[in-house]
């Protein structure tokens, strides 16, 4: 496995879970769109999944929003191009995923209220720890976009935050999300304010905590803004 050096400026996010259907591509696409809406950003969407849903979703998106064409690069391998890099990992833990986890500043592990996606959350932590990432530098965990019963998600959050992991909380579920992402619509088209706020919060948490990481403010990571 070749180690890829990344210059300190860009922020790189890996979205990974060996379980499929947990929302990796959707979260990758939404965060990419939010990053693009900040006009100063050169955004790089890296799609490591052979299903290429992230590629298709983002290609359609810039086709529908041609003014953003020059702000987005879509790649199928890890590269350090861009100010905001998002890697949508395949539902497997082959070398590419390990490289992405090593490369990333922040790792998002979407999970649903099912045993296997939870199991894979532990696996991602294990890989990160082996690669020498300390816990606080590692994860934003987003808890399931559906089926995550309140009781289960509360207990997951408690359990992991006690061990030093940041848990972003439940992502909202909306019936228009699958449609919007599949046809390259803007992710928040037709969504209410309350709904949009939760994804904006995820994005802002990433930016705020990345700045803290750059300033070596490790002890305040994920501790509010
Ligand atoms: N927040 C959400 N609200 C509603 N549906 C969602 C949400 N996130 C994902 N989905 C839907 O769940 C399915 C699986 O999501 P996807 O992002 O493709 O998962 P993965 O990339 O992990 O396989 C898709 O049909 C997607 O549209
Ligand atoms: Mg996917």
Residues 161-220 have pLDDT tens digits of 787 778 887 888 899 999 999 999 999 999 999 999 999 999 998 998 888 888 888 778
Residues in the chain: 225
Q: Which residues surround ligand 2, an ion (CB under 5 A)?
A: 24-25
Q: Which domains does the chain have, with CATH numbers?
A: 11-220 (3.40.50.300)
Query: What residue owns the CA closest to ligand 1's atom 15?
Result: 23
From residue 53, give the alpha-carbon distance in Å to each of 6, 19, 21, 105: 26, 16, 12, 23
Nearest-atom index, ligand 1, CA of 178:
27
Cα 162 to ligand 2 centre (Å): 29
Q: Order of strands, edge to edge, in the sheet holding 139-143?
A: 72-75, 43-47, 84-88, 11-15, 106-111, 139-143, 166-170
Please give the model's pTM, rounded to 2 decimal places.
Answer: 0.92
Phi, psi at 168, each rounded to 5°: -75, -25
Distance of alpha carbon 208 from alpha carbon 222, whole angstroms = 9
For ligand 1, whether the C-beta of 52 sits within 6 Å is no
Tell me the per-residue pLDDT of 117-147, one tens digit each, with 9 for 90 and over.
Answer: 788 888 888 888 777 776 666 778 787 766 5
For ligand 1, whether the C-beta of 178 sits within 6 Å is yes
Nearest-atom index, ligand 1, CA of 28:
17
């Amino acid at each position: 496995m070749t180690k890829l050096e990344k210059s300190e400026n860009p922020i790189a996010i890996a979205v990974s879970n060996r379980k499929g259907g947990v929302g990796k591509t959707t979260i990758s696409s939404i965060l990419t769109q939010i990053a693009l809406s900040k006009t100063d950003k050169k955004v790089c969407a890296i799609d490591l999944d052979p299903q290429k849903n992230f590629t298709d979703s983002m290609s359609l998106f810039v086709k529908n929003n041609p003014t953003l064409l020059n702000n987005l690069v879509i790649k199928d391998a890890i590269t350090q191009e861009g100010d905001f890099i998002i890697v949508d990992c395949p539902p497997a833990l082959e070398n590419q995923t390990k490289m992405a986890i090593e490369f990333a500043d922040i790792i998002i592990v979407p999970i649903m209220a099912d045993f296997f996606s939870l199991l894979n959350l532990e696996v991602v932590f294990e890989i990160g720890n082996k690669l020498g990432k300390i816990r606080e530098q590692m994860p934003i965990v987003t808890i399931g976009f559906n089926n995550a019963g309140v009781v289960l998600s509360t207990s997951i959050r408690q359990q992991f935050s006690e061990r030093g992991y940041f848990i972003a909380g439940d992502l909202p579920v909306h019936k228009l999300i699958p449609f919007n992402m599949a046809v390259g619509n803007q992710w928040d088209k037709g969504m209410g304010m309350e709904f949009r706020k939760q994804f904006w919060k995820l994005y802002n948490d990433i930016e705020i905590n990345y700045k803290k990481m750059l300033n070596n403010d490790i002890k305040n990571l994920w501790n509010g803004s």
